[in-house]
Structure 1
Amino acid sequence: MLIEAGCVCEKAKGSHTKWMHPKCANKLILPGKDGADAKPNQKNDVLDYLRKILEEE
């Protein structure tokens, strides 16, 4: 979902990934391995980040 919105994984440290979008000053850090099931609060964080991207456009 983040990739489809134009986000890129800036870097990863351990099991955390840092996502950024060129039009949004904020970054999103997600814990957990890639491909693992997201917890409800992580899903909400992703949706909030996507809303911020839409507001910036």
Structure 2
Amino acid sequence: MPPKVRELIAELEKEGFVNRGGKGSHRSFVHSKVPKPITISGKPGDDAKQYQVRAVRLALEELKK
């Protein structure tokens, strides 16, 4: 079962990412140690898409380097 969008957002915020806002259901998260912003779309209760999960995992790995 895929994680919910709210779970991905919570993971990012726990690691220090800041929500920069966005249009509609899109949210852009930035961190000073990660060069590219991470965009998460969808309502908080929606299932996250596989590409969103992958993007969050890669960003968290980049942060630990």
TM superposition score category, shorter chain reference? 0.7 to 0.9
Root mean square deviation, CA, Å: 1.3
Pick 1 or 2: higher relative contact order, CA cutoff 8 A, min separation 6. Answer: 2
Structure 2 residue runs without a partner (length 5+): 1-10
Structure 1 residue runs without a partner (length 5+): none
Aligned residue-pair number: 55
Query: 2-side partners of 1:22 and 1:35: how far apart?
Result: 28
Q: TM-score w.r.t. structure 1 length? A: 0.80
Give the % identical residues: 33
Larger helix proportion, structure 1 or 2? 2
Query: 1-side partners of 2:36 and 2:64: how far apart?
Result: 13
Q: TM-score w.r.t. structure 2 length? A: 0.72
Larger strand proportion, structure 1 or 2? 1
